[in-house]
Chain A
Amino acid sequence: MSMQRRDFIKAGVAGWIIFQTAASRALANPTQSSKNPKKIVWVMLRGGMDSLHAVLPIGDPDFMHIRGSLVAPIKDKLLPMHNGFALHPALKNCHNWYQNKEFLPVVAVASGYRKRSHFDAQDQMESGLNNTDYESGWLARAVGMLKGHGLAIAQTVPIALRGEEPSQTWFPSHFTASDDDLIARLRSLYAGNKEFSGLLESAVNNRDMLDMDGETRARPNFSYLAKNCGELLSRDDSANCAMLELGGWDTHNNQQQRLNRQFSMLDNGLAELKNALGDTWQDTVVLVTTEFGRTVAVNGTKGTDHGTGSTMFMLGGAVKGKQVLGQWPGLAKESLFEERDLTPTTDVRSWMASVLHQHWNLPLDKIAKVFPDVEPAAQAIVKA
């Protein structure tokens, strides 16, 4: 990448202002910090991942009794961790990272949401607030405090990255880029129309910053998106965070087979992300969360229905791994939430807040603006 292009990428955080004059481009630099090399990647698993099938509480006396039928096919292949927990065998890279002190799960977490609608739960988790604000996401607020910017690997900006500063999005393109002349003419067409000028400039800006080698695919899979996410982050030092999404977790039926596939997809994608990040992996915390957990009991179709408490993963070179965090509430009937779900004992946002504090060094008063409804968790998550 040429020096010029690099400067251009750095300046990108100032949005479309940079297009006005060369002078404003130069001025744009000091307004943002490229000093913080620490990256956060948030992977949102949409559909409600069954945490009891990911991080299996094999030490819980009630577990095999309730979940025996789902666990039977993988029982002998479980990947052991500490405190009576084991990972699903398809999460083999995660387990290697665990042993390498780069992976830690937090059990029994949930957001502030206690109902069971995917769409509301996801929106609330992306917003990070008890009352969803569709125009303000937690990641956008956090990265705003750093005066940095975020990157969404998606066609459109997800709620998590909506905020005052425009976030960039990247997704494989299928056509050759429009030429400068057309763009210039569209600019005059939209002159005086604030809405469309804004849309155009963010589109052009976004394309110029993120158009890489022109490699395209009809249907990008998670590994491909994760790989590109890693490459973009490792070569753009003004991008502090990125969001990836992976759907397909709503396992109402046939859960055993479906989660085998899903976990492999996730595990392989995370490995692609790590490879693409290269040395940047050492400065990265990857957060993997889902909107809610699933019922403890198996339903009538070898699956599970919408529940409450779930697990989050933290991984990356910066993570103080090889530990299982969170308080385990137990699976005895009287310990369950509404007698059916794993009871959440900590708020997933308190762990995210803690990562912002320990990894990005955000002061507590700023974190309170990102997550006004929780306190950061006290445990050490990031390597000293």
Chain B
Amino acid sequence: MMSNTRSFIAAHRFGYGANAKTIRKIKQQPQQWLLNQITADNALKELTLLDMQWNSQLAAEQLNLYQQQKKQEKTPKASPQANMMLMASQNTQKQINKQLQKAISATVVHSIVTDSPFYWRLVDFFSNHFSVTGNGPRMRALAPTLEIEAIAPYISGSFADMLLAVESHPAMLLYLNNEQSIGPNSKAGKRSKGKRGLNENLAREILELHTLGVNAGYDQADVTELARAITGWGVEGKGSANFSFKANLHEPGRRDVFGKIYQQDGVKQGVRILNDLAVNAKTAEFVSRKLVNHFVNDNPPQALVDTMVAVWLKTKGNLPQVLQAMIEHPLSWSEQGAKFKTPREFVISTCRVCGIKKINPNFSKSLSILGQQPFAAGSPAGYKDTQEYWAGPRAMMGRIEWAEHVSKFVKNSPVELAQNALGPLMDERTELLISRAESKSQAVTLFLMSPEFQKR
């Protein structure tokens, strides 16, 4: 395969598509270009460049304000002052919604312009792997902070560190109710006389969705034991988003997970279990397979997965090394577009190639129309990652209509645009039909809807 072709495959398959600038950056060394993006230095640089003015601390402050305002509004005072208060809490809620939209837009816009598209594809992948949904003011405020605070900084490190950061982040703790989970034999549990107790939601999803995967051989007792081990993992609250270990909620005693005994050691008991889960062979297999499914093929080749699992086990889940194994494997470079783009990939790659940084309907709304609104998967399993999920009749027509809508705002020459984006991947016939379109915007729509651009 010509190294030029490999550059285009790298840009599409592992990034957000090609344009003239991207191809110049790759310098016909696609593997090196990808590896350079996942170094610690580069991760730091990308996070600095990201224009994100929202974080979990600001979220906690806003939520505290919101709760205080709600409380005041509940006091029975029908004075004009009370009415003002009512407006205050609604206003705060509006501010929170606005911040969520801004946060979504900041990441999308940065993904459009970044020199490290592979890095941001990985952030998106793990953000979906550790999916949180923005339901209600509290989760709308916190959901977008998880990927920036607990995922993006850890792409260049070990999966264990990322896992711990995610499971101890306020967005995840609150989303899956762990801050309310109480050891039945803890001080607080005993005081409540059985009225308050365990909630196994987070523990179950850690095992099923975040680490081992469903049907990995754990049973209900393991779920319950893990749930007990992480009792007390909560959030400071009252204006602070800091993790807080509440010893009086923590279930005393040793925990037995998969036949291994974890001594009582406060917060470290849960940390040790998570660390073991992160390097478990089942986790290595589950996450590697998901990565291959995401980047390479809906039917992941076992040989490729096996190679990554071996590296995972050898390096104790060092993500850049596992990813390097994927990048260096010949099975990752088959010439045909094996993956149908997700709506997010379609929207970002369209804007990247067409040089668009702002659209109407805005990014969040556009993604919602196409079926993949950020932080709205509605379940901790996140969005599915296969063609059949994204290529339904309604969704396909949505793509056509959206492409037609966006193409009206593109000024470049369509044929040039397509040549820059697809290079040697473009079929002669596609080029001919683009050049024969009756209008510029129709030509751009045909390019955006071409199989070469829809698949990667």
Contacts and interface: CB of A to CB of B under 8 A. Distances in A.
Question: What is the interface residue range for chain A against chain B?
Answer: 35 or more
Interface string A216-254: 001100000000000000000000000000010010110
Contacts of A188: 433
B286 to A, nearest CB: 13
Interface in A155-211: 155-157, 162, 166, 168-171, 173-178, 181-182, 185-186, 188-190, 192-193, 195-196, 199-200, 202-207
B392 A157 contact: yes
A181 B443 CA distance: 12
Interface stretch (B176-184, B237-245, B319-327): B176-184
B379 interface: yes
B137 interface: no
B395 A175 contact: no
A178 B404 contact: yes
A190 B451 contact: yes
Interface stretch (A112-120, A268-276, A359-367): A112-120
B197 A205 contact: no
A335 interface: no
Given A120-B215, A175-B404, A178-B401, A253 B449 contact: no
A190 B389 CA distance: 21
Contact of B395 (A155, A162, A177, A182): A155
Contacts of A134: 388
Interface in A298-327: 299-301, 303, 305-306
A206 B394 contact: yes
Contacts of B402: 175
A233 B396 CA distance: 23
Interface string B141-154: 00000000000000
Contacts of B198: 299-300
Given A178-B404, A253-B177, A247 B379 contact: yes
A154 interface: yes
Given A117-B208, A189-B449, A218-B365, A171 B215 contact: no
A338 interface: yes
Contact of B430 (A119, A189, A204): A189
Given A118-B381, A300-B182, A206 B397 contact: yes
Contact of A186 (B208, B371, B449): B449
Contacts of A182: 400, 404, 442, 445
B412 to A, nearest CB: 19
A300 B392 contact: no
B398 interface: yes
Contacts of A202: 393, 396
Q: Which of B401, B433, B450 has the most CB of A within 10 A?
A: B401
A117 B214 contact: yes
B22 interface: no
B361 interface: yes
A338 B391 CA distance: 41
Nearest to A211: B397
Nearest to A247: B378
A203 B180 contact: no
B66 interface: no
Contacts of A162: 388
A203 B396 contact: yes
Contact of B393 (A46, A169, A219): A169
Contact of A300 (B199, B215, B437, B445): B199
B422 to A, nearest CB: 13
A48 to B, nearest CB: 11
Interface in B85-124: none
A176 B402 CA distance: 10
A45 to B, nearest CB: 13
Interface string B394-435: 111110111011000000000000000000000001100100
B390 interface: yes
Given A117-B214, A182-B442, A253-B199, A155 B394 contact: yes
B446 interface: yes
Interface in B290-327: none
A188 B180 CA distance: 58
Contacts of A203: 393-394, 396-397, 400
A189 B450 CA distance: 7
B454 interface: yes
A193 B340 CA distance: 14
Contact of B199 (A154, A173, A301): A301
B336 to A, nearest CB: 11
Contact of B220 (A47, A116, A171, A205): A116
B200 interface: yes
Nearest to B180: A301
Nearest to B372: A155
> Which interface residue of A168, A174, A190 has the most chain B CB atoms within 10 A?
A174
Interface string B365-377: 1001101000000
Contacts of A192: 429
A79 B180 CA distance: 32
Contacts of A47: 379
Contact of A178 (B220, B365, B400, B450): B400
Contacts of A117: 208, 214
A63 B142 CA distance: 38
Contact of A171 (B394, B438, B445): B394
A134 B298 CA distance: 13
B210 interface: no
A156 B390 contact: yes
A296 B405 CA distance: 52
A119 B391 contact: no
B339 interface: no
A300 B389 contact: no
Nearest to A168: B393
B404 A300 contact: no
A279 to B, nearest CB: 28
Q: Point out which of B184, B208, B454 has the most chain A C-beta atoms below 10 A from its C-beta.
A: B208
B196 interface: yes
Interface in A321-345: 338
> Which of B200, B378, B394, B437 counts the most chain A CB atoms within 10 A?
B394
A109 B211 CA distance: 31
A300 B197 contact: yes
Nearest to B200: A305
A173 B214 contact: no
Given A119-B379, A156-B371, A338-B220, A185 B437 contact: yes
Nearest to B443: A185
A119 B209 CA distance: 10
Contact of B204 (A166, A200, A219, A306): A306
B201 interface: yes
B214 A120 contact: yes
B72 to A, nearest CB: 22
30 contacts: A154-B394, A155-B394, A156-B394, A156-B395, A157-B392, A162-B388, A173-B394, A173-B397, A174-B398, A175-B405, A176-B401, A177-B401, A178-B397, A188-B433, A193-B451, A202-B396, A203-B396, A203-B397, A207-B394, A218-B365, A247-B378, A247-B379, A252-B199, A253-B180, A300-B198, A301-B180, A301-B181, A301-B196, A301-B197, A305-B204
Given A156-B394, A338-B220, 20 more contacts: A69-B195, A117-B214, A118-B381, A155-B371, A156-B389, A156-B392, A157-B393, A162-B388, A168-B393, A173-B401, A174-B369, A186-B400, A189-B430, A192-B429, A203-B400, A219-B368, A301-B181, A303-B177, A305-B199, A306-B204
For the complex of A and B, list the 7 residue pairs with the smallest distance between their C-beta atoms, beginning with the closest. A300-B197, A156-B392, A206-B393, A175-B401, A203-B396, A203-B397, A301-B180
